[in-house]
Amino acid sequence: MNTQTGIPVVTIDGPSGVGKGTISLRVAEQIGWHILDSGSLYRLTALKAKQSGISPENEDKIAELARNLSVEYRQQGDSLQILLDGEVVGDTIRTEEIGNLASQIAAIPTVREALLQRQRDFARPPGLVADGRDMGTVVFPEAGAKIFLTASAEERAKRRYKQLIEKGIDANLHDLVIELTERDERDAKRRVAPLVAADDAVTIDTTQLTIDEVTEQVMQLLRARYRF
């Protein structure tokens, strides 16, 4: 089954630090499809809010920022370069501070509304791999393949810790477990588009799996559904 536009979409949803980003990029590279890192749109809005000194309580102003984001994505193999107002953002949007701020503003309905069509516009031939929290439930309910990744909070915190340290970003494992759990709760309990597996999603528990093993499981699913 395809999207309403006839362009095939694969959705990969799940909680923070589950490895969605890495898996999505690898899968997209293997099958030659476009990628949507939907979390980056919320993170970019959060970064803009921080830079402009706008508090997350100022919902109208935050929604305006989301509506007017000037973003460009450059997909290079299994990495993604993001430009905000023409400047490469790099890891400035990957900090825990921006992640938490993104989670707060992602609960604002007008922000989600402002970003909805922008996300759907990523669906271009030959197809799209979309990663986020509500890809299979709200943004692409007609997607042909839906995957929901899970892992224990401890394992996800460990992975995030390793990632941050490798990038030279200071981190504390204990704080990360608490922050990830808080963020998941906020993402899962919000009124609009909460973090939840779509009824027709296939769930993969990645706690005991390597990135290669998860990628292979996703690829097996896709091979069964499409002719790769």
Residues that bind ligand DC (CB under 6 A): 16, 38-39, 42-43, 99, 102-103, 106, 132-134, 183, 187
Packed helices 38-52 and 59-67: angle between N→C axes, nearest 10 degrees? 120
Nearer to ligand DC, 169 or 228 (CB): 169
Q: Bridge-partner residues for 146, per DSSP?
A: 11
Nearer to ligand DC, 131 or 215 (CB): 131
| DSSP percent split of the chain into helix, strand, coil, nearest 5 | 50, 15, 35
The nearest distance, CB 180 to ligand DC, in angstroms, is 9
The nearest distance, CB 39 to ligand DC, in angstroms, is 2
Nearer to ligand DC, 7 or 82 (CB): 82
Closest listed residue to residue 84, CA positions, set 97, 74, 96:
74
AA identity, residue 224: A
Nearer to ligand DC, 134 or 155 (CB): 134
Burial of 158 (0-12, 13-18, 19+ CB in 10 A): middle
The nearest distance, CB 13 to ligand DC, in angstroms, is 7
